Amino acid sequence: MLMKLTMARTPNKLYANIFLSLIVCIILTIVTLSSALYASFEKIALSNIYASEKSSLSQTSYSAKSMIENSTSYALQIYADPLLDKLLHYTSPGNVETTTALTRLNAYLNMNYFIHSIYIYGKNSKTFYASTLSSGNAIQHFDDFYDADARKLIEHFSNYKRLAPIPREIPVQTPFQEVKTANVYTFVFYDLQGQSSDLDNMIMLNVPERWMKDAITSLDMDKNGSTFIIDSKGTLVTSTDTMPFLADLHEKPYVQKILNTSSSQASGYFVDQVEGVKSLVVYSKHDVTNWLFIRVLPYNTIMGKIETIKKTVLLVCFFILLIGLSISFFLSKSLYKPIEKVTSKLNVLIKEKRNNQYKLKQHFLRQLVYTSGYKKPLDIERELKEFEIAMDPASDYVLILFVIDRFDSFSRQYHFEDRVLLKYGIMNIASETFAQAGSCECIDIDEKTIAVLLNGSFQAELSWIDLVKQVQDSTDQFLNLSLSASISRTGDSLIEVSDLYSETQQQLKYKFVEGYRCILHSRQPRQQALAPFVHPNLLENNMLETLKLGKATESKKWFDEIVQTVEPPSYMVYNMLFNQLAFSLSTAAINMDRNAGLLLDHDFGSFIHHMHKLETLHDVQDHFYELIDQLCLGFKDKKSSKHDNLIVSIDTIIHQNYADRELSLFRIAEILDFTPAYLGRIFKKLTNKSIPDYLNEFRIERAKEKLISTHDSIEEISQKTGYNNSTYFYKVFKKYTGITPAEYRNNGT
């Protein structure tokens, strides 16, 4: 009996050991797989989030680049403006010259919505000339200038790089003596003569902080994290809800980690405590400004779903254990289902990783195009193998850029997803076309630009132009899109790719002159300007005069002649010329409307904004033609009203100032801002009477009233009615009345 019991217990114990061992193996297997899955998913998720947030930071850095380019353009334009030259160099410019220059400076400020204020400092006069949106004294001596930091910039100008943003908090002048400040980025431009280290003059453009804050806000759609910018010293250059502008953050541990790491790599991410909260920190360095763009995301927010998956898997394991212990070993087969579920999730993860490989490859190729000259050859070879790119780093390379023409219209016509598909179609066409010439890779550079990187042993006589035309024709035929292209020279190795990219980018500026579907290459001869461009003031005056007369056709002819003075064609010169012409047309329209007593009904800010979006010279010419037609039509409609208001204005001036002995046709023309000849001709045409005759008749009428109603002497009356002496008064009085003043008084008529 005892033996039987012992034999019964032994199989039961073995069964129990086997059962428990199986349960332990299952538990260990599930826990191991779930942990590996969680770790892999977490790593890939962080990588994807980093790539997405880095792209967002890159878009924000484009706004910084745009801010620098626009500020540079307008600083150079202001410096080259002849009306502002006297403020920069004269010791004591005249009142009229100063007023004219300040009017021009205010016009620059009003036309450029992204500028908070403009300072001009002249060393010879030791004077600041300021143009701001708030009321205040525009002319202040150096020692009295309200912006103390601006004075320090002058005194220590060599410490600051020209046309690089300087974050500052500046005071704002108010009429009520309130203490107000504004957060700005100051761009300084100064010109040192020869080897001189002594400053002659300086232009300061103050760009409001909202330029960068608006860019950050527009890209931070989900509002889950915080985006801000610091400089290389850890100073905050964009304010946030919790941190003020110019706050010192360098002592914060996560900021120190970024500052230490950014010296060796331009971007990256890590997980750290930020203000006591575990967060994902993504950073990207902007080379031009040396700023660091930082994105902080709460870790729980972005990894919440992964934590849910982890808890779910652990809960399933616990229930499997309970079911296995309670139901018996025979139900252990059901444990295959959760294992199968884990395997299925793992396969999905592998598939996602494979799909993500394309994005990582595109990112590597973009970075190669941008910074190949800074990469080590061994690192490039390793990454080429990693992404299975069949290219020889030491052989010849050619880079071809394709740009989608009329991109503004293209963006309005197609949604973002459709634009991505169309660009993918262009890349497929380019890959098939250039595959016959050697190894090639297509790179998605940005929204409107695609690059084709070619590798092989190329012959000197190989014609890339024919292949580019094939791509253009196929894209037009199958996708109904127009492309312009820029072809680089042949490079000797892969580290030259970034130089080839810069070369093609520079060549693309000639698209402005060459037009749509152009093919630009390094072998094209480019004529250089023999002398600096001089603005054609005479032609511009002729255009404005015909414009005021409502002659649209003649105005367009003068405009065409102005455009033809740019020889050889230069994008920068055209840009400066068209900005100046837009300003002149705006000023002419404002003056015409002011003289007519009417409000300006044309938005020149929108006109200039749209002008800078145009891609070719022909488009800009059509844009100006349309403006000229609108202004001429408006001038014709307002012509009669303008003339009526002009007569009223002249009559009012004479009524109010007839006793002024200096009042004359020339003085009235000066007040109304007309030439005397033009004003006299218009007045006589409308009244059949000259302005001097009308003035004398009015004065004689007032003199007749005083002769009858007062006991003043004739000498006193002549002076009170605007005549220099009684002799001339006698002569004019008799001319218009037929009798002398004394006879008129004696007769009492």
Query: pLDDT: is 569 or 43 the higher one?
Result: 569
pLDDT for 422 equals: 93
Query: pLDDT: is 345 or 305 the higher one?
Result: 345
For 727-739, the pLDDT digits (tens) are 888 888 888 888 9
Task: Say if CB 303 and CB 44 are below 8 A apart.
Answer: no
pLDDT for 11 equals: 46
Model confidence at 10: pLDDT above 60: no
Model-wide pTM > 0.85: no
- In the block, tokens 């993918």 appear at 424
Q: How many contiguous H segments (helices) and E segments (strands) does the chain have?
A: 25, 15
- The DSSP bridge partners found for residue 484 are 403
DSSP label at residue 494: G
For 402-424, the pLDDT digits (tens) are 999 999 889 889 998 999 999 99
Of 154, 137, 156, 166, nearest to 71 by C-alpha is 166
Query: pLDDT: is 144 or 344 the higher one?
Result: 144
Query: pLDDT: is 636 or 162 the higher one?
Result: 162
pLDDT for 62 equals: 75
d(CA 237, CA 242): 13
pLDDT for 6 equals: 42
- Mark 436-471 as b/e (b = at least 16 C-beta within 10 Å): ebbbbbbbbbeebbbbbbbbbebeeeeebeebbebb
d(CA 710, CA 204): 62
Model confidence at 401: pLDDT above 50: yes
Rounded alpha-carbon distances, angstroms, from residue 534 to 82, 531, 558, 568: 11, 9, 16, 13
Taken as a whole, the chain contains a residue count of 749
For 572-581, the pLDDT digits (tens) are 888 898 898 8
Rounded alpha-carbon distances, angstroms, from residue 102 to 63, 81, 327, 576, 594: 29, 12, 93, 20, 19
Model confidence at 672: pLDDT above 90: no
pLDDT for 123 equals: 84
d(CA 438, CA 309): 47
Strands, E assignment, 287-421: 291-298, 396-404
d(CA 517, CA 622): 18
Model confidence at 145: pLDDT above 50: yes
d(CA 591, CA 670): 14
pLDDT for 195 equals: 53
pLDDT for 491 equals: 87
pLDDT for 423 equals: 93
- The DSSP bridge partners found for residue 278 are 273
* DSSP-assigned states of every residue in 228-272: EEE-TTSBBSS--SSS-TT-B-TTSHHHHHHHHHHTT-SEEEEEE
Residue 23: band (very low, low, confident or very high) from pLDDT cuts 50, 70, 90: low
Give the number of other CB atoms < 10 A from CB of residue 485: 27
Give the number of other CB atoms < 10 A from CB of residue 361: 17
Query: pLDDT: is 565 or 196 the higher one?
Result: 565
User: Strand, coil or helix: what is 170?
Assistant: strand
Residue 4: band (very low, low, confident or very high) from pLDDT cuts 50, 70, 90: very low
Model confidence at 366: pLDDT above 70: yes
The amino acid at residue 361 is K
The alpha carbon dihedral of 47, 48, 51, 57 has a sign of negative
Task: Say if CB 493 and CB 392 are below 8 A apart.
Answer: no
Query: pLDDT: is 637 or 656 the higher one?
Result: 656
Query: pLDDT: is 636 or 654 the higher one?
Result: 654
Residue 312: band (very low, low, confident or very high) from pLDDT cuts 50, 70, 90: confident
Rounded to an integer, the average pLDDT of 329-333 is 51
d(CA 564, CA 706): 63
Strands, E assignment, 290-377: 291-298
Model confidence at 340: pLDDT above 90: no
Strands 519-521 and 483-487: parallel
The alpha carbon dihedral of 246, 250, 253, 258 has a sign of positive
d(CA 619, CA 617): 5
d(CA 316, CA 8): 34
pLDDT for 293 equals: 85
Furthest CA-CA distance within the chain: 168
Of the given ranges (19-23, 42-46, 475-479), which has the lowest mean pLDDT? 19-23
d(CA 545, CA 678): 11
Model confidence at 608: pLDDT above 50: yes
Of the given ranges (132-136, 457-461, 504-508), which has the lowest mean pLDDT? 457-461
The alpha carbon dihedral of 743, 745, 746, 749 has a sign of positive
pLDDT for 480 equals: 93
Query: pLDDT: is 727 or 194 the higher one?
Result: 727
pLDDT for 89 equals: 81
pLDDT for 450 equals: 95
Of the given ranges (308-322, 359-373, 421-435, 544-558), which has the lowest mean pLDDT? 308-322
pLDDT for 105 equals: 85
Residue 242 has which token pair? 């919790």
Task: Say if CB 291 and CB 297 are below 8 A apart.
Answer: no
| Average pLDDT of the chain to the nearest whole number | 81
pLDDT for 504 equals: 92
Rounded to an integer, the average pLDDT of 268-292 is 84
- Percent of residues, the chain, with pLDDT higher than 90: 12
pLDDT for 38 equals: 62
pLDDT for 331 equals: 47
Side-chain half-sphere exposure of 70, counting CA atoms within 13 A = 21
Model confidence at 206: pLDDT above 70: yes
